[in-house]
C-alpha cells in the first residue's frame, strides 16, 4: 500500500477552512483502504516561526490531535505522530542540508511568500531554521517513504524541492535508497474567511474553529461581511458578493441556498435572519464533531495513548529508513 504523509503545524486549533481544505480529504483517503496514511503533528516546524513561544506549540499538539480524532481520523487506520519525538527526522534534515543551496531555498516560491508574511517576526533577516524548513519537510516525507503527498497549489514547490533532494541524494549515495514522492493536488477549495479574505486564519480573526461554542459561532456569523449596498430588509441584494451566502453554500442544503439567493435578490430577506439561519446550520453541522471532541477533552489519557502509540509506530518506520541512509552514506560504524 502506498504511504501518504500529511501534517499540520500545531500553532492553533483547526478551523472549518482546514476541514474543507484537507481534513475531509484525509478522512476519505483513510477510509478508501487503498493507502497507509501517516499524519505528522509538526511541532519542530511550528517552532521555526514560534521559537519564542514553546508553550503555544506544546499546548496545541494535543488540541490538533483532538481535532483530528473528532473529524473522523481513526488511529486504527491512520498513524498520528509527533515530529519532535522522531529524532531520525532531525538527523535526515542535517544530511539533506548539504544537498540544497541557500540560493535554491531563497528562490522557493512558498518560502518567499511565507517570509514576506512574517516580516513582523523576522524583519529583514530570516532565520536559518525558517529558510531551511523545506529541507526538514523533505526529511519528514522521506523518513516514512511517503509516496503521495496531498497538497494545495501553494505548497507544491515544497514537494518539488523534496523531489530534487531525493534525486540528488540517490545520485550520490545510491539509486533507489530514497523514495521520490508525488504531490497530489488537492481538489478542495481554499475557504475564505468571514471577512471575505482569501485566507482564513487566527491572526486574521476571521475563522470559525471546529471547537467553537455555539455562542462563539453565532457571534462570528453575525459579524460576517454581507452585501454593503444593502441597508434595509427590502433593498435588492447581491448574494454573490456576500460571505453569508458563501457559507450557506457550504453548510445549508440546496433548497435553502436557492431560497436565500432568490429572497435576497428580491429584497425579501433580512440579513439578521439570514445569518441566524446560517449559524444554526453551522452549529448543527459541527454538532457530531464537537460531541466527539468533548469525549476526548474528558479523556486526555486516551489522546496521549494514541499519540504515543502512533509515534512509536512511526519511529520504527523512520529507523528502517535511517538504517538504509546510514549504510549508503557509510555512517554505519559500529554495527
Ligand atoms: Fe447576504 Fe443574506 Fe443579507 Fe443577502 S440577505 S446580503 S445573502 S446576509
Based on the number of CB atoms within 10 Å of its own CB, is 273 exposed (0-12), middle (13-18) or buried (19 or more)? exposed
For Cα atoms 230, 279, 11, give the angle at the middle one, nearest 5 degrees. Answer: 110
Classify residue 206: in a domain, yes or no: no
- Asked if 316 and 283 sit in the same domain, the reply is no
Interatomic CA distance for residues 169 and 156, integer angstroms: 20
Classify residue 248: in a domain, yes or no: yes
Ligand 1 centre and the CA of 257: distance in Å? 11
Pocket test for ligand 1, best of 196, 230, 256 (most atoms within 8 A of CB): 230
Whether 274 lines ligand 1, by a CB cut-off of 6 Å, is: yes
Helices (H), the chain: 16-18, 24-32, 43-47, 54-71, 87-96, 102-107, 109-117, 119-122, 128-131, 133-143, 156-173, 214-222, 243-251, 254-265, 271-298, 300-328
Whether 264 lines ligand 1, by a CB cut-off of 6 Å, is: yes
Classify residue 67: in a domain, yes or no: yes
- Asked if 105 and 173 sit in the same domain, the reply is yes
Written as tens digits, the pLDDT of the chain (335 aa) is 889 999 999 999 999 999 988 899 899 999 999 999 999 999 999 999 999 999 999 999 999 999 999 999 999 999 999 999 999 999 999 999 999 999 999 999 988 888 888 888 888 789 999 999 999 999 999 999 988 898 888 888 999 999 999 999 999 999 999 999 998 887 666 789 999 998 888 778 899 999 999 999 999 999 999 999 998 888 999 999 999 999 999 999 999 999 999 999 999 999 999 999 999 999 999 999 999 999 999 999 999 999 999 999 999 999 999 999 999 999 999 86
Ligand 1 centre and the CA of 245: distance in Å? 6
Residue 232: the pLDDT is 87
Whether 142 lines ligand 1, by a CB cut-off of 6 Å, is: no
Interatomic CA distance for residues 210 and 17, integer angstroms: 10
- Asked if 163 and 255 sit in the same domain, the reply is no
- Asked if 286 and 150 sit in the same domain, the reply is no
Give the number of the atom of ligand 1 that is nearest the alpha carbon of residue 230. 6
Q: What is the CATH number for 219?
A: 1.10.240.10
Residue 188: the pLDDT is 65
Phi and psi dihedrals of 80, rounded to 5?
-100, 125
Whether 221 lines ligand 1, by a CB cut-off of 6 Å, is: no
Classify residue 198: in a domain, yes or no: no
Give the number of the atom of ligand 1 that is nearest the alpha carbon of residue 270. 5
Ligand 1 centre and the CA of 197: distance in Å? 18
Classify residue 205: in a domain, yes or no: no
Ligand 1 centre and the CA of 23: distance in Å? 29
- Asked if 15 and 151 sit in the same domain, the reply is yes
Domain total for the chain?
A: 2
Residue 78: the pLDDT is 97
Whether 73 lines ligand 1, by a CB cut-off of 6 Å, is: no
Residue with the smallest CA separation from ligand 1 atom 4 is: 264
- Asked if 247 and 116 sit in the same domain, the reply is no
Q: What is the CATH number for 56?
A: 3.40.50.620
Classify residue 269: in a domain, yes or no: yes
pTM of the model: 0.91
Residue 324: give the domain boundaries.
2-192+300-328
Amino acid at each position: 500500500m502506498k504511504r501518504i504523509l500529511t501534517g499540520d503545524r500545531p500553532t492553533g486549533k483547526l478551523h472549518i477552512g482546514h476541514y474543507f481544505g484537507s481534513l475531509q480529504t484525509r478522512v476519505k483517503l483513510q477510509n478508501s483502504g487503498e493507502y497507509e496514511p501517516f499524519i505528522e503533528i509538526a511541532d519542530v516546524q511550528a517552532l521555526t516561526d514560534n521559537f519564542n513561544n514553546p508553550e503555544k506549540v506544546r499546548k496545541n499538539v494535543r488540541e490538533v490531535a483532538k481535532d483530528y480524532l473528532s473529524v473522523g481520523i481513526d488511529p486504527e487506520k491512520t498513524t498520528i505522530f509527533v515530529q519532535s519525538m522522531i529524532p531520525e527526522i532531525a538527523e535526515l534534515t542535517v544530511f539533506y542540508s548539504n544537498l540544497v543551496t541557500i540560493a535554491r531555498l531563497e528562490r522557493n516560491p512558498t518560502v518567499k511568500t511565507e517570509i514576506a508574511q512574517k516580516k513582523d517576526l523576522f524583519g529583514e533577516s530570516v532565520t536559518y531554521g525558517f529558510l531551511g524548513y523545506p529541507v526538514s519537510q523533505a526529511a519528514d516525507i522521506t523518513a516514512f517513504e511517503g509516496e503521495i503527498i496531498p497538497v494545495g497549489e501553494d505548497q507544491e514547490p515544497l514537494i518539488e524541492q523534496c523531489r530534487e533532494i531525493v534525486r540528488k541524494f540517490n545520485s550520490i549515495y545510491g539509486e533507489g535508497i530514497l523514495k521520490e514522492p508525488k504531490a497530489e493536488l488537492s481538489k478542495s477549495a481554499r475557504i475564505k474567511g468571514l471577512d471575505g479574505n482569501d485566507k482564513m486564519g487566527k491572526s486574521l480573526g476571521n475563522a470559525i474553529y471546529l471547537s467553537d461554542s455555539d455562542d462563539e459561532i453565532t457571534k462570528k456569523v453575525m459579524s460576517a461581511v454581507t452585501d454593503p449596498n444593502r441597508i434595509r430588509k427590502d433593498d435588492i441584494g447581491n448574494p454573490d458578493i456576500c460571505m453569508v451566502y458563501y457559507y450557506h453554500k457550504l453548510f445549508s442544503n440546496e433548497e435553502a441556498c436557492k431560497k436565500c439567493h432568490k429572497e435576497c435578490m428580491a429584497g425579501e430577506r433580512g440579513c439578521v435572519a439570514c445569518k441566524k439561519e446560517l449559524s444554526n446550520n453551522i452549529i448543527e453541522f459541527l454538532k457530531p464533531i464537537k460531541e466527539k471532541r468533548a469525549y476526548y477533552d474528558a479523556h486526555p489519557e486516551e489522546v496521549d495513548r494514541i499519540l504515543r502509540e502512533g509515534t512509536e509506530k512511526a519511529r520504527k518506520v523512520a529507523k528502517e529508513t535511517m538504517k538504509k541512509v546510514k549504510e549508503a552514506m557509510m555512517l554505519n560504524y559500529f554495527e
